[in-house]
């Protein structure tokens, strides 16, 4: 189960690889050309600022949005392992504010909350890495998930002047590409709907911001596996800066308990 959540986290990061703002004075560039260029320049390392909100229909305990904010460096794990990152974490779920630190070295994952440290453990991460390698790694063809693009403005995000490009999500293509992953997690995937807005640099042709608004109905046969959820809605904003300049990410010091201890505590609180 822990390995599955690690893969889901990695998929979210991979979406940023696949593919805001103030004013600039650059000539408009064909949006399809810019998206193609961004897809051809996947981000191997950068600083990320992620602000996400998740809403779930059909689960009383999750009637309010789950919010999460992540800030810090990121390095791709390629096709062999989960990404590495060192993120400051703030979140709000079930009425509880949470602050802490989330670190991945690609070989272990550490979480510090309320002054307590937890780790997934090398065995759990190795299992996730083996599953990733067997499936070809976290390199989905996200460019193909975007429909007809249009320019919506210009801006400056992540320290670069960029063109804002909006495109609808191609639900059938996303459903097809993500079906194997959903199946390995034990549920079916319906066709996502929504829209993405990217800010691609004029000079470096790299993605510097991605806004995502997506909804997905949960098929009846999978609702019981997801606690009765009927639909899932995601709103996310990812800003990418200092591309290619992230330092080596090290394991944090201190003592860490198994992550299952945290899960048991959360189950007690939810009950």
CA distance 229 to 54: 12
Asked whether residue 233 is assigned to any structural domain, the reply reads yes
Asked whether residue 252 is assigned to any structural domain, the reply reads no
Closest CA to 125 of 42, 271, 5: 5
Total structural domains within the chain: 1
What residue numbers bound the domain in which 204 lies?
A: 2-19+23-245+257-270
Most confidently modeled of 3-7, 159-163, 267-271?
159-163
DSSP 3-state of 60: helix
Per-residue pLDDT, averaged over 80-94, amounts to 88
Asked whether residue 216 is assigned to any structural domain, the reply reads yes
- Give pLDDT tens digits for 14-56: 554 555 344 457 899 999 999 999 999 888 999 999 999 988 8
The CATH code of the domain that includes 7 is: 2.50.20.20
This prediction has a pTM of 0.79
- Give pLDDT tens digits for 174-186: 888 777 767 666 6
Cα-flanking dihedrals φ and ψ of residue 81, to 5°? -155, 170
Asked whether residue 251 is assigned to any structural domain, the reply reads no
Asked whether residue 11 is assigned to any structural domain, the reply reads yes
CA distance 38 to 43: 9
Q: Which residue has the higher pLDDT, 97 or 202?
A: 202
CB 125 within 8 A of CB 6: yes
Asked whether residue 207 is assigned to any structural domain, the reply reads yes
CB 121 within 8 A of CB 164: no
Asked whether residue 159 is assigned to any structural domain, the reply reads yes
Structure confidence at residue 5 as a pLDDT band (50, 70, 90): very low
| pLDDT tops 60 at residue 152 | yes
Angle at Cα 48 formed by Cα 44 and Cα 50, nearest 5°? 135
């Amino acid at each position: 189960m822990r390995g599955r959540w690690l893969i889901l986290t990695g998929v979210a990061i991979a979406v940023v690889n696949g593919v805001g703002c103030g004013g600039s004075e650059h000539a408009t560039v064909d949006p399809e050309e810019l998206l193609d260029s961004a897809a051809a320049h996947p981000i191997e390392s950068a600083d990320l600022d992620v602000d996400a909100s998740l809403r779930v229909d059909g689960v009383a305990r999750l009637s309010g949005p789950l919010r999460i904010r992540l800030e810090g460096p990121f390095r791709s794990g390629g096709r062999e392992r989960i990404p590495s990152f060192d993120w400051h974490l703030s979140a709000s779920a079930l009425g509880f504010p949470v602050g802490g630190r989330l670190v991945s070295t690609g070989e272990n994952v550490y979480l510090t909350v309320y002054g307590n440290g937890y780790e997934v453990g090398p065995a759990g991460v190795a299992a996730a890495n083996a599953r990733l390698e067997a499936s070809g790694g976290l390199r989905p063809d996200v460019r193909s998930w975007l429909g007809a693009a249009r320019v919506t403005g210009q801006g400056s995000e992540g320290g670069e002047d960029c063109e804002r490009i909006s495109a609808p999500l191609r639900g059938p293509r996303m459903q097809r590409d993500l079906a194997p992953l959903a199946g390995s997690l034990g549920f079916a995937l319906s066709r996502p709907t929504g829209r993405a807005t990217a800010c691609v640099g004029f000079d470096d042709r790299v993605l510097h911001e991605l806004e995502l608004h997506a909804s997905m109905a949960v098929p009846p046969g999978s609702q019981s596996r997801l606690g009765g959820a009927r639909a899932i809605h995601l709103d996310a904003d990812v800003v990418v800066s200092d591309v290619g300049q992230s330092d080596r990410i090290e394991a944090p010091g201190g003592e860490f308990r198994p992550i299952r201890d945290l899960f048991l505590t959360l189950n007690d609180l939810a009950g």
